[in-house]
A = this chain, B = another copy of it.
């Protein structure tokens, strides 16, 4: 079995390599491993956290292969599945009652608190993939948690930007952006007393949303009762907004960007990013040669739309 980290010296980033996932079986039609009563779920839960059966990372990974030139590392960490409801036939997390979404987030908070104590846990990335269009095969509402022994590349780049901005202005970049978005209003999607959601001025995807707490906090565990409830509401409102555009479910990715679990990162400001990938009905935005090979994104805006104000 191979399960290891391999360092890409050209880009300077880790790749998670595993042979475990290749072993994923074809599930019999009609069987859902996330439904109540499945071997790993049991009964009596409203939300359940499962170990990913085909993980890229593990608390007890095998020794990595050694190479005289290339750098490898132990695939220390954990991959979890957050099953968001016992009900199989719900299409999306946004179709759940706000209370249930709140419970999902509360459970996630507990996982963050628990995993923060592990030596190997450098970062906890929560993400959600929605839609067969982006490869989701199990439709029972669920999201994923990766506890990684490294800080994900995009978060690292954000940390750098926040640090530089603070140094230059003595302010927080996202606190400033919140102020700008609340003033401009044109890109605002929703706001509550504790959260604000807007479409970024510089979107990478056709329908992109940034959700952020007004309070300058770094970790999900810092959110209080009210803030967590407001996030649940925001998620429902923004994701239902996406569906309303197309008057049907639409594929998206969602990711939580919080601070690394270890060390002091009080210059950082937690937020969630949602990438809606459908640009017009049944037409997807594909990240292809420019995006994956060059790294920069193109964004098709509607004619005459002005970003400025």
- Give A contacts to B, CB under 8 Å: 1-2, 4, 6-19, 21-23, 56, 65-70, 72, 125, 127-129, 134-136, 144, 146, 148, 150, 152-158, 160-161, 165, 173-174, 176-177, 180, 200-204, 253-255, 257, 273, 275, 284-290, 292-309
Contact = CB atoms under 8 A, between A and B. Distances in A.
Contact of A292 (B253, B294, B305): B253
B153 A19 contact: no
B72 A307 contact: yes
A227 B7 CA distance: 30
Contact of A70 (B23, B56, B201): B201
Contacts of A203: 15
Contact of A296 (B21, B69, B128, B152): B152
A12 B157 contact: yes
A43 B65 CA distance: 56
A-B interface, 8 closest residue pairs, ranked by CB to CB distance from nearest: A255-B293, A127-B289, A153-B295, A135-B286, A65-B308, A152-B294, A154-B295, A8-B202
Nearest to A6: B202
Given A295-B152, A307-B6, A22 B135 contact: no
A288 B135 contact: yes
B155 A298 contact: no
A255 B294 contact: yes
B296 A17 contact: no
A146 B6 contact: no
* Residue from A18, A202, A287, A304 with most neighbouring chain B CB atoms (10 Å): A202
Contacts of A158: 10-11
A168 to B, nearest CB: 11
Contacts of A15: 202-204, 296-299
A303 B6 contact: no
A288 B2 contact: no
